[in-house]
Amino acid sequence: MTKPALGFPLEGLKVLDMSRVLAGPFAGRMLCDLGADVVKVEPPEGDSTRLWGRMAGGISSYFNMANAGKRCISIDLRAEGARELVIELAAKADVVLENFRPDVMPRLGIGYEQLAAKNPRLIMLSISGFGRDGPESRRPAYAPIVHAELGLIHRVQNREGVKVDLPLSVADTNAGLHGLVALLSAVIMRDRTSLGQHIDLSMMDATLVSDDQLHFEIEHAEGTRNLPPDIWETGVGGILVSVDFRYLWKLLTTEFGITDPSTGDTPLEEKISLRRGAVAAFMQGLASWDAVERTMDKMNLAWGRVRAGKDLREQPTLASRASIVEIDDRAGGTRPVAQSPYRFSQASAGVRGAAPHRGEHNADVLAEWLGQSPATISALYASGIISRTPADPG
């Protein structure tokens, strides 16, 4: 991409990303796309998401998605001397990201109080399932747990008749995005006060506040909600039409002359069924995407083609905005990844490279951030405090 003169918005911001799986790593990925130097701290066993998805160059697609562009050092937090190394790194950082259970970091001696004692300007974002205080603070949580606890799975069952989890980890990504808002607000506040702070963000809170259907549930008003959009099969594939069926019926009868198959004496349930059947037949008769588009445009309706994920590169907006880009696959080729959604008039943003191998940047980060010599770094390897994937190049 062409880099505007002002560069990336977060250039110079140092982020120590101690998180794993998705909520924290996703926040770190967005910070990296905005120009921050994001260093992922990974345990010797690796982030579990290194095992999820298609492998290329020793890196899984899931791990690549959430960690593209970051650097990585691998530290065994249980090793003697590891605590001191993390404190040294945090002393040079602007931001620490972590999503352990709330008791883990303090128990390891690297909680916010210990880190802020050396770096009072430090901002720590702690993402947990249930928050730092309260009766469930130590419960482990992944996105499906939060989906279950907040009634989302029950809502799907009520509306669709099947009890299944959501097909994406919305509780994780909502937490990551709300975490970004909070920590960037803290960065701005630090410019005024010179003080950092600890941000306690729960996946429960982040998902709850992002739920636009919540009020129907907690006010016992499910019956007052707007009718859900219908999905119709045309002659060329499925489309979702975002309109109340009653209004769609009115438009089709006035604009396209569909004949009402019911009479004034037809019972309501049968009338609805007959009318829906007539609409289904009309939609099935649309034999090209041009015909579908002309029909929807004539009625001025919002609609969308029901696409398979494998066909997203053909979606016109994604294609024109280069929303899926190719990056290094660490094996001599390229692989696709979602581009940063942030588009600035006077600054750059975007994925800045492939995800790292475990411990790939041990020497670089320790030399740049801490000024450590090759001999000191070699001693850290020998003591088992740091390590790297043996197959990594270099």
Give the single-character DSSP code of 347: S
240 near 306, Cβ under 8 Å?
Answer: yes
3 pLDDT more than 90: no
The DSSP bridge partners found for residue 198 are: 124
In the chain, what percentage of residues exceed pLDDT 70? 98
CA-closest candidate to residue 22, choices 125, 123, 102, 127:
127
Per annotation, catalytic residue among 172, 200, 212, 392 = 172
126 pLDDT more than 80: yes
> What pLDDT does 152 receive?
94
Q: For the residues 104-129, what does the mean pLDDT come to?
A: 96
351: left (phi over 0), alpha (psi -120 to 50) or beta: beta
With tokens 């992002």, the residue in question is 210
Q: Are strands 123-128 and 95-98 parallel, antiparallel or unpaired?
A: parallel
Non-local CB neighbours of 377 within 8 Å, separated by 6+ positions: 362, 363, 366, 367, 386
> Could you tell me how many residues make up the chain?
394
393 pLDDT more than 50: no
d(CA 307, CA 315): 9
d(CA 268, CA 262): 9
231 pLDDT more than 80: yes
pLDDT digit string, tens, across residues 271-317: 999 999 999 999 999 999 999 999 999 999 999 999 999 999 999 99
Q: What are the sequence ranges of the domains in the chain?
A: 14-215+324-387, 226-312
- For residue 28, name the pLDDT band (cuts at 50, 70, 90): very high
Residue 172 a catalytic site member = yes
2 pLDDT more than 70: no
Q: Are strands 237-241 and 230-234 parallel, antiparallel or unpaired?
A: antiparallel
**CATH of segment(s) 14-215+324-387:** 3.40.50.10540
Q: Tally the C-alpha atoms within 13 A of residue 279's C-alpha that lie toward its C-beta.
A: 22
Q: For the residues 144-164, what does the mean pLDDT come to?
A: 93
Q: For the residues 3-18, what does the mean pLDDT come to?
A: 88
264 pLDDT more than 70: yes
CA-closest candidate to residue 12, choices 125, 123, 94:
94
- For residue 5, name the pLDDT band (cuts at 50, 70, 90): low
DSSP assignments along 49-67, one per residue: GGGSS-EETTEEHHHHHHH
- Count of helices and strands (H, E) across the chain: 16, 14
Average pLDDT value over all residues in the chain: 94
- For residue 228, name the pLDDT band (cuts at 50, 70, 90): confident
- For residue 227, name the pLDDT band (cuts at 50, 70, 90): confident
Its pTM stands at 0.89
> What pLDDT does 220 receive?
87
d(CA 69, CA 355): 6
121 near 195, Cβ under 8 Å?
Answer: yes
Q: For the residues 370-389, what does the mean pLDDT come to?
A: 96
392 pLDDT more than 50: no
